[in-house]
Structure 1
Amino acid sequence: MTIDNPNYAYPARSSNRKGPNLDKIGWVFMRASGVVLIVLIFGHLFYNLIWTEGGIQAITFGFVAGKWADPFWMWWDVIMLWLAFIHGSNGMRTVINDYVHKEGIRKVLIGAVVVAAAVLIILGTLITFTFDPCPAGADPELLPSFCATL
């Protein structure tokens, strides 16, 4: 009985190959983004659950509106969103490369992961930076209580 070479899906990288080693870049990115994500996530949780009074019950529409009124917290959440989606997508790419052995299917799946991540990153960023809890011209009955009525 013989055991198949576990690296059969990956052709050996020749020493004379030109260009960047994308797998190495992905490996380094996963380590660096993981450390940064730990700081961002625990900072997010600390601020939302411990620093502000009321704990999880205090997280309401008004809380988010007040938090995103500060550009610091908008950028904190957007960077956390970007890194989380890119980190997770790179992890999915690795899983697909490890378990999908047909080249065509692998390309389709990786393309689907890239498209899904790109759409979610764009939508999340758009929502964060265009968020307005008190839009002009809205029905006053639908607005939160902290919005000034004219």
Structure 2
Amino acid sequence: MTTPVIPSPRATRSNAMRGGINTELYAWLFMRVSGVILIVLIFGHLFVNLMVGDGVAAIDFAFVAGKWSEPFWQVWDLLMLWLAMIHGTNGVRTIINDYAERNATRIVLKALLYVAFVVTVVMGTLVIFTFDPCPAGSPADLLPSICFS
């Protein structure tokens, strides 16, 4: 009776074995770097929104409108959105690769994941850069109070 051969844990089927680019290595590195950057972005976001000024009581439509009127905060929130979405999508992709046993299931789940990623990033980016609390030509009774000052 022959004993089945168990491949070495270090032996992978990646492109690196064939002399190509090791995408999993870069994905792993991205997760570490983006995680550190996200910690800075998220704690900065929380500090400004909850600790500066009147704290959580001051967060309303006018607060967001005032914050997004400055390009610095638009870029800050955009970086936070993009990094969090890429970081999370990469993590879920890894989970799908680990637990989806059939190739068809893996392909469908990843396709759904990527569609959700694209929709969320595109919509979030559009909201951040096209947000206008006081659109021209809107009825006065529908505009927030900040538009009249």
Query: TM-score of the superposition, structure 2-length normalised?
Result: 0.89
Does 13-22 or 116-125 show the bigger shift?
13-22
Taking only aligned residues, the RMSD between alpha carbons, in angstroms, comes to 2.3
What 5-or-longer segments of structure 2 have no aligned partner? none
Pair 1:22–1:143, CA change in 2 (3 A): same
Decide whether the 8 Å contact of 2:82 with 2:121 is kept in 1. yes
Task: Show the counterpart of 2:21.
Answer: 20
Is the 8 Å Cα contact of residues 34 and 83 (structure 2) preserved in structure 1?
yes
Q: Does residue 31 of the first structure (1) align with residue 32 of the second (2)?
A: yes
Equivalent-residue separation in structure 1 for 2:131 and 2:121 (angstroms): 15
Distance change (3 Å), C-alpha of 1:74 and 1:14: closer
Corresponding residue of 1:102: 102
Per-residue deviation, residues 64-102 of structure 1 (Å, max 9, x unmatched): 000001000000001100000110000000111111111
- Counterpart of 1:87, as a letter, is H
Query: How many angstroms apart in 1 are the aligned matches of 2:109 and 2:63?
Result: 38
Which structure is richer in relative contact order (CA contacts within 8 A, separation 6 or more)? 1
| Residues 71-82 of structure 1 mapped to structure 2, 5 A cutoff | 71-82=71-82
Superposition map of 1:86-125 within 5 A: 86-125=86-125
Matched, 1:45 2:46: yes
CA distance in 2, matches of 1:100, 1:7: 22
Which structure's residues are more often helix, by fraction? 2
CA separation of 1:72 and 1:108: change in aligned 2, threshold 3 A: same
Gaps of 5+ in 1: none
1:7 CA drift (Å) = 8.7
For the residues of structure 2 that align with 1:146 and 1:112, how far apart are their CA atoms? Answer: 40
Distance in 2 (alpha carbons) for counterparts of 1:105 and 1:19: 26
Secondary structure of the 1:147 match is helix
CA deviation after TM superposition for structure 1 residue 104, in Å: 1.2
Question: How far does the alpha carbon of each residue in 1:93-134 deviate from its partner, in whole angstroms, 9 at most, with x for none?
Answer: 011111111111101111111110011000000010000000
2:110 partner amino acid:
I
Percentage of pairs with the same residue: 54
